[in-house]
Chain A
Amino acid sequence: MNTESLTSIFINTLIVNNFVLSMFLGICPFLGVSAKKETALRMGIAVTFVLLVSSICAYGINITLNYLQAPYLILICYIAVIAAAVQLVEMVIKKYSPALFRALGIFLPLITTNCAILGLALFQTQKGYNFLQCLVYALGAGGGFTLALIIMAGMREKLELADVPDIAQGVSITLILAGILSLAFMGFAGLGG
């Protein structure tokens, strides 16, 4: 059992070990949907939500598989449950809030292949968090993802006015910007462990 305090887990995943900028999880949506601040925020909320749901599911699966003594099935179960959770979230949102469903659009199904989701499930198992710690971990990770996405979108909106050399346009300049942002986030390293 891990005895890390809840605040320390939250701050740690939110800024110190940011999922996108220092653990390289979820780079694809980070590069793909960070062009506008509004879509970035929506994507962040959707991912946070799926992170929470899959974190709860992963906690349950881990206990069940330990009970059945079949830990080698962990990967297959996690990915199947994440895909199902995304589908479920999609259906629930569609039923109860069509407006939000339209706003999220294509981003929802794409969350299945976001490595931040599977990464979170694997890390929380590795670290042996209890149920409450898992929830806070998922919230921190989702918050950190949203934060990175929004900061990046802000920078990219400004970038549209800048004169970028044409070979560096697109992904290349975005990655270099992300590098600078990651450098800035390293300044938080003293805060946590």
Chain B
Amino acid sequence: MSDQQDSSPSMDVLLRGFWKENPVFVMVLGTCPTLAVTNKVINCFAMGISVMFVLVMSGLLISLLRNFIPKQVRIASFILIIATFVTMVDYAIQSISLDLYDSLGAFIQLIVVNCIILGRAEAYASKNGPVKSMLDAVGMGLGFTFALLCLGVIREALGNGTLMMDTPFEISLFGPNFAPWSIMILPPGGFFVLGLELALFAWLRKRRARRTAAAAQA
């Protein structure tokens, strides 16, 4: 990305992260938490919201401080800012629900090294104003949550036959005679589902490119 300020309309900035530049499916960033926490739908929501909070807050602070942080130490400063917000999220989740905290494990604290956040800080927030940076962060956060849900819904539905397990809204999908594919909620399931979904998105992109090419010819 260039040093120039981004001049595209706000709506584009917001929506870009959701589909066209989806952090997981298009840029393949942040794969570790994507694979690790998606065995339950509720985990996906918690992780998505935490990442979005850290993205928005660190984006805002970094874009406000962008003219004060010396270029040489910017990465270290960004990481410290991010770590501060992650610590806040960590303590917040611990106080809201200990069960949720235990099932997410160290992955809440590992948001610090999630490449999506540092990537956006470096590529966007350090070059653009606070409003645009926050819109970009919300878009990326939504895109990340969407990607987590894409995996989580499939993994939980096939692996346990339910949606929203361990919450008051639990729905049983296939009735009592369903034999769960337990492999789906185990580690290999995460690799398989993400691999197949990446192939699916590649196919969708290819099909769209072919259609636009055909339309241009006609």
Q: Which of A75, A178, A180 contacts B87 (CB 8 A)?
A: A75
> A-facing mask of B34-73, CB < 8 A → 1, else 0?
0110000000000000000000000000000000000000
**Which residue of chain B lies nearest to A168 when distances are taken between CB atoms in the complex?**
B199
Given contact pairs A27-B35, A176-B196, A167 touches B203 in the complex (Cβ within 8 A) = yes
Q: Are A27 and B31 in contact (CB under 8 A)?
A: yes
Task: Report Cα–Cα, A115/B33, bound state, in Å.
Answer: 10
Task: Report Cα–Cα, A89/B125, bound state, in Å.
Answer: 30
Given contact pairs A114-B113, A115-B113, A27 touches B32 in the complex (Cβ within 8 A) = yes
Contact partners of A21 in chain B: CB under 8 A: 187
Instruction: Say if the beta carbon of B153 comes within 8 Å of chain A.
Output: no
Contact partners of B150 in chain A: CB under 8 A: none
Instruction: Say if the beta carbon of A67 comes within 8 Å of chain B.
Output: no
Q: Are A173 and B109 in contact (CB under 8 A)?
A: no
Q: Are A31 and B84 in contact (CB under 8 A)?
A: no
Min C-beta distance of A26 to chain B, whole Å: 7
Count residues of chain A with CB under 8 A from any CB of chain B. Answer: 41
Instruction: Say if the beta carbon of A85 comes within 8 Å of chain B.
Output: no
> B-facing mask of A108-124, CB < 8 A → 1, else 0?
00001111011100110
Min C-beta distance of B2 to chain A, whole Å: 22
Count residues of chain B with CB under 8 A from any CB of chain A. Answer: 41
Contact partners of B115 in chain A: CB under 8 A: 28, 113
Please report whether the interface of chain A is mostly helix, strand, loop or mixed according to DSSP: helix
**Which residue of chain B lies nearest to A87 when distances are taken between CB atoms in the complex?**
B76
Q: Which of A23, A118, A176 contacts B113 (CB 8 A)?
A: A118
Contact partners of A23 in chain B: CB under 8 A: 36, 187
Given contact pairs A75-B87, A122-B110, A167-B203, A24 touches B28 in the complex (Cβ within 8 A) = no
Contact partners of A165 in chain B: CB under 8 A: 199
Instruction: Say if the beta carbon of A72 comes within 8 Å of chain B.
Output: yes
Task: Report Cα–Cα, A83/B112, bound state, in Å.
Answer: 12
Q: Are A179 and B188 in contact (CB under 8 A)?
A: yes
By a beta-carbon cutoff of 8 Å, the part of chain A in contact with chain B is: 21-28, 31, 72-73, 75-76, 79-80, 83, 112-115, 117-119, 122-123, 126, 165, 167-168, 171-176, 178-180, 182-183, 186
Seed contacts A112-B113, A115-B110, A126-B106; 20 additional CB < 8 Å A-B pairs: A24-B32, A24-B35, A28-B32, A72-B87, A73-B87, A75-B112, A80-B76, A80-B80, A83-B79, A113-B113, A114-B113, A115-B32, A118-B112, A171-B195, A172-B195, A172-B202, A175-B191, A175-B195, A178-B191, A183-B188
User: Would you give 29 A-B contacts (Cβ < 8 Å), ordered by A?
Assistant: A21-B187, A24-B187, A25-B110, A27-B32, A28-B32, A31-B28, A73-B87, A75-B90, A75-B109, A76-B80, A79-B79, A79-B80, A80-B79, A113-B115, A118-B110, A122-B110, A165-B199, A168-B195, A171-B198, A172-B199, A175-B194, A175-B198, A176-B195, A176-B196, A179-B188, A179-B191, A183-B183, A186-B186, A186-B188
